[in-house]
Amino acid sequence: MFATIFAALLYLITAWIIWRRPNLVLERLLPPVALLLHAAVLATYVFHGGRITIGFNESLSLFAWQSALLLWVLCFREPLRILGVAIYPLAAVAATSVVIWPSPPGDIMVDDWHVQLHIALSLFSAGLLTLAAVQSILLAVQDRLLHRSQLTHLARALPPVQTMERLLFQLIAIGFVLLSLTLISGMWFIRNWMAQHLAHKTILSITAWLIFGTLLWGRFRHGWRGRTAIRWALAGYAMLILAYFGSKLILEEILGKHWT
């Protein structure tokens, strides 16, 4: 529990530094410590003798951890640090939730490389598209502030609009490729769509894939940008969240069923 609290504090301190006291050294040194502690604690709740438990809280924690990891890595190359104001607090909450409300041990085997690949692709695609969703929200806020000629602290902290849009579509493009591979890899170990309660999850995931694909096509073909791009990006992310967390919450917490 101490490691979890320490990791959460480091996440929150990093977010505060980014927002109020920018310090590039601390922004690069504190997150990896939090990520290592978060990962160590999470591993004890996910892995059990060759099997894994990925309940709702474990999924949320993995999701947030991987988003925070990607953000920390990408910040070495791109001006994405402001996303930490949202991503790192989310990781802090997710890190503590899995300790407070752990799920019963699961029965998913991890000795099959197909399953391992699918889980890894799923996490990376979701993590990148989470960053894209936060990026689109910040772009929407930036657009509103600029139209109102309001030079707030947030407006000054954000990169130029052109840079924000470029980063948004880069994140979506890479996330879309990984989401495509996730859907393809998932076909390898599906035995019965209805028995495994995967039909609704797959339909929502494909819907998200179609939305992101349409957005990228619209950008390439018609130069979509601004509010149009923001709406499509958030719509695709909403479908992705419903596909995983919405259906998982209903199945596990309400119906008491699990994907197998």
pLDDT by residue (tens digit) across 138-188?
999 988 888 777 667 777 778 888 999 999 999 999 999 999 998 888 776
| Domain termination residue (choose one: 78, 111, 144) | 111
- 218, pLDDT greater than 80: yes
What domain range includes position 61?
1-111
Residue 98 and residue 119 in one domain = no
Write down the pLDDT at residue 194: 46
Mind listing the pLDDT tens digit for each residue in 186-195?
A: 776 665 444 4
How many structural domains comprise the chain? 2
Residue 92 and residue 211 in one domain = no
* Vertex 40 angle, CA 238 and 46, to 5°: 60
Share of the chain above pLDDT 90, in %: 50
Residue 38 and residue 90 in one domain = yes
The pTM (predicted TM-score) of the whole model is 0.84
3-state secondary structure of 47: strand
Q: Which residue has the higher pLDDT, 209 or 112?
A: 209
Residue 107 and residue 153 in one domain = no
Residues 6+ apart with CB under 8 A from 100: none
- 235, pLDDT greater than 60: yes
Residue 123 and residue 251 in one domain = yes
The residue type at 162: Q
